[in-house]
Every structure is written in C-alpha cells, then in structure tokens.
Chain A
C-alpha cells in the first residue's frame, strides 16, 4: 500500500486544519516548560522539533492512566450502575517516533489476545498514527535491537521523513493514512525518486543485541540470581520505567467513592511494585526487588514474545532516561545477551 510523495513542511498548518475540519482531534509533541508532551497544538509552529524523544509515551491515547470503567450510586439496598460510553474520539496522533508507532502492536496483543477490551479496540479503531522518522538519537536509543529502526514504518499510517529543512518524504502506508492524506491532496507532490534519499538522513542507532535470538535462551538465565541482584541492587521500585514505557500495560482496578457515589477506575500499575503480587495472606511470589526486575526483563523479552508473538519493548529508551538511579534497560539486556550459554 506504501505510496511516497513530498510534503512541504510549510503546508503542515493547512493539513492539520483540514484534519480539524474533518472532526479529528490532533495530538502532537508540544513544548511545555522544559519538556515535550503530547497535546493539541494551537498553531503548527507550536509543534516541537529537534527533540530525540518525549519523556512520556503516547500510550495514554489508547490506554489512559485513569480509565473510568463504571459509575455507581447507592440506592437503598440496591445500587445504580452506569457504564461510561465506549465510543472514542477520532484522533490523529502526529509526530510520534517510529518506536512509538511500533508500540501499538504490543498493546494490541495484550488487550485483544483473548476477550477483546472494548475501550482499547474503539480507541485504536479511531486512531490515525502519523509518525516522523528519527534523524538523531541518543545513548539510550536501541530500537534496532528489538526489530525497529529510525525509519521503520511498523504501526504508522503515514511515516514522514525530513529530507531537509523544507521537505518531508511522506510514505502513506494504510487506508487510514490514505484518508488523512486525502483531506488535502493538493499538498502532496510526486516523490520523483526522492524516496531513495530516506536512508541517508536517518539516525544511526547501533545494534546492541538481537531481541529475537535473545528470547530463545533468556529463560535459561532465570536462576542466575546473582546477575538479577547485581543489576537491580539500586532499583528503588518507583515504577517510573513502567509509567513512561509505551508498551507497559499492567493495570490495577480501584474504586473511588465519595459518600454514596463512586467510580471504578482502571489505573496504570507496575510489576516493579511490591504490592503488585502481594497475596492477602502476606505471601508474595516475587518478594524482593531483584525478582521484580527479572520479571520486567523476562516478561518483555521472553514471555510476551513466546505467548503473544510480540516483543514487549520497542527500544525507545524512556525507562533509562527516566530512571532516578540510572538503570539502563538497553545496557542491562545487552549484558544479559552476552552471557552466552
């Protein structure tokens, strides 16, 4: 389905306006104080450029930090229950990195492998992903180790690659991408062989390990308690890694109540928290932090590939940038992968 064309950067405003007129909510990287966050830009020049990665991923678009699942009101001995609408707002996610676009496949695997999750499906169905290739990376990036790349088209409906300061190469990849481009067809000019220049502008992200190969024998490292301990001795169990991760999808279900009214919320959670697996009896299957670190690595690089056919990591490096004690997932996994059996 891939069709390449050229889009002038100066036309972005006209294109975004057309999306707005078509009833789309547009989310894009926008500078907010010293950070870049996903928000609706008030003007196209608000859209941030020149950053390597946003601190938080865009997963909240399909899996919000707090999701209202039910509302209820006490009604004598009975209770009145209301189900929030499952309809999702048509949304264009503009300017995510290829690693983020790839992360939706992992989320989709978790939320739909069995008993499909209604909110997730509705939000995915109404989401159009327009990503921008990476022309720079930093020491935390390792997309090329987990099957991705700075110009990878996985998960994108349209991929834009900046050829120079003025022009993007636009690869329209899906039907949703075609629909988005068709909102302003006059802005897209034939690529005339420019597609060949894509590779030249992409960042060089070194390959640290081969995730697919690593998945085969990672289970054999399960009993290397010494290694898991050494890697996680400084882990605070704060969960920052999971909260910024584009593929972490573990959640909690909690009720909030004020007098006789309440809501049931689905909230982000983390396998790094002690409470995550704590039984009511006090028994905890993963009672020390090194076991929780091992679970994090095993789940992403062995269990999810084996069970769901997806790697639970896209190499965006956010966990390592966010870690207050400088744990580095890419480096830790590289070290594990070099412990050849």
Chain B
C-alpha cells in the first residue's frame, strides 16, 4: 500500500524565483533618468557557472521593492560581469536608480532565446535602434565587434529624441572613430543642440537616406513601436525580406519562466520563445506586442 505523500523531486525543492545577489561595481549615468549598472555575482560559484548569449534577459530586483525585466546589455564576449541599462519609470526602477556602486541587488536569469550571431558569420550586419532600445542592440554590436573578422560590413543607425537622450555616448564616439564601423547618429527634429554635428531626422527617414543594401545582410531593429512601424516599410522597399530582419520584444514580464502569463502573445511566451524574433515569425503572431 502506498503512502499519501510522495518524496519531493529535486525540482520540488528549488525555488525558481530566488535571485542571485549581484554587486554594483560601476554605475554610469547615460542620459536623463537612464543609468547603466555593471554587476558582478557576489557568490564566486554562481559567477563561475553563469553564462549567457546575446539577446537574453533577466529579472533585476531591489529587495523590498520588486523585480524589473531588462535585457543583458553587455556582450557575452566580455566575461566576469553583466551590464543593464534602464530608464527610471516606476517603483522598482526608481529604487534601482537610487542604488550606488557597492550596493547589492538581485538578479535571476539568463532567460529567453538569443540572436543567432554565429549563423550570421560572413554576413553584413545592420543595426537600427531608437532611444532606450539601444541596450539590447548594444549587446549584439559588441558581440559582433569583438569577433569583427567574422563579419563583413557593420553599420549602425541610432536615433533619440534629443542629444541628451542618446545613451552610451562614449561608445558612440568610439564607434564613430572606428574605420570598420559605419555609424549614423540622429536626433528628432528640434532635439539638436547648436554643437550637434550628427544627423537631424527620424530614424525611418535616415534609413531611407542611407539606403542599406539587403544582399547578404542581417538587420537588427529595435525601438519604440512607432519607430518599428515606420521603419519596416522602408526596409521592405529597400528589398529586405522578413527573414532578414530581427528584433527583440519588450513585453511586460514577471516570472520570466513561462508561467505568469503576461507576455503571452498567441500561443507563444515572449520570455521562453523570444524575446528575439524575426519579422517573418512576428508576422505569424497576433499583433499584441
């Protein structure tokens, strides 16, 4: 005769939602209300076990305030730390913004799928980003630049509302100096300063002006919904096929492990099946992202 309770399995004893402690080793103010943290695991064993790939995300937490979802903004080619860049918007991000170098925050991840950067070797890569959507793209940019000889031309088109809103200003300057990167930085009309030497215009217009060629090219596109909506027709006109265009979705999430239900789009979970999708894949989904 069997007994009532069966012995718990290994998974029955593991709390999926326990974050790892990470120390803020460097905090950088990027733009008004936008900060970057460089983070290291407090536990050396966790640090040794940890690995991630371009495009993955995590749940960052301030104990007592809650968790927020951000991509890992640093490249997996840079070992020993991860970085996240966030805009102060609600309860958790406001509490995060108050943290200083040396403080401990929580992290669980990495979650989600990845940009297939290895499959892109030998191709030209075109990055198009707007505003606070540069961080998820920046992860891929550095991944490609750190393995530069494996790729053909690397082009970056980045825009923000104003000059002040541009993030990673030092890195933009760095990419601008490099002869192996084509960079166009733009600000929305009215967002320029007298000293501004970059472009003025919305991202879709700049893409139209730059006229990237689709042959042998992968486009990584990330930005606010309105930018995506207006840039896609431009890329289509230039001859880009939906299979050549990649993006990462920013649906609201809580659990990160396919249970809480809020990133559900059609039969997919953005946290498990995404966040990285090709336009061809998105075209098969209900437009709820």
Contact = CB atoms under 8 A, between A and B. Distances in A.
Contacts of B251: 277, 279, 285
Given A255-B64, A279-B252, A176 B258 contact: no
B67 interface: yes
Contacts of A86: 8, 12-13, 15
A264 B289 contact: no
Contacts of B272: 114
Majority secondary structure, A binding face: mixed
Interface in B221-262: 224-225, 250-252, 254-255, 257-262
Nearest to B7: A125
Contact of A179 (B2, B87, B93): B2
A259 to B, nearest CB: 9
Contact of B67 (A121, A222, A253, A262): A253
Contact of B4 (A22, A122, A249, A286): A22
A128 B4 contact: yes
Nearest to B18: A83
Interface in A253-295: 253-255, 257, 260-262, 264, 266, 269, 271, 276-281, 283, 285-286, 291, 295
A118 B16 contact: yes
Contact of A262 (B1, B4, B64, B262): B64
Interface size, A (range): 35 or more
Contacts of A121: 8-9, 11-12
Nearest to A253: B254
Interface in B1-43: 1-6, 8-9, 11-19, 21
B149 interface: no
Given A72-B63, A262-B64, A279-B250, A178 B2 contact: yes
Contacts of A23: 4
B91 to A, nearest CB: 9
Contacts of A307: 267-268
Nearest to B13: A86
A126 interface: yes
Contacts of B65: 255, 257
8 contacts: A69-B18, A79-B104, A81-B106, A83-B15, A114-B272, A260-B64, A269-B260, A276-B262
Contacts of B262: 250, 269, 271, 276-277
Contacts of B266: 298, 303
B4 A24 contact: yes
A253 B17 contact: yes
Interface string A53-92: 0000000000000000110101001110101001110100
B17 A266 contact: yes
B111 to A, nearest CB: 9
Contact of A250 (B61, B62, B66, B260): B260
Closest 4 CB pairs of A and B: A250-B261, A257-B64, A262-B64, A280-B89
A25 to B, nearest CB: 11
B145 interface: no
A222 B288 CA distance: 11
B264 A303 contact: yes
Contacts of A69: 15, 17-18
A182 interface: yes
Residue among B9, B87, B262 with max Cβ neighbours from chain A (10 Å): B262
B288 A79 contact: no
Nearest to B261: A250
Nearest to B226: A283
A175 B2 contact: yes
A122 B288 contact: no
B194 interface: no
Interface in A159-208: 175-176, 178-180, 182
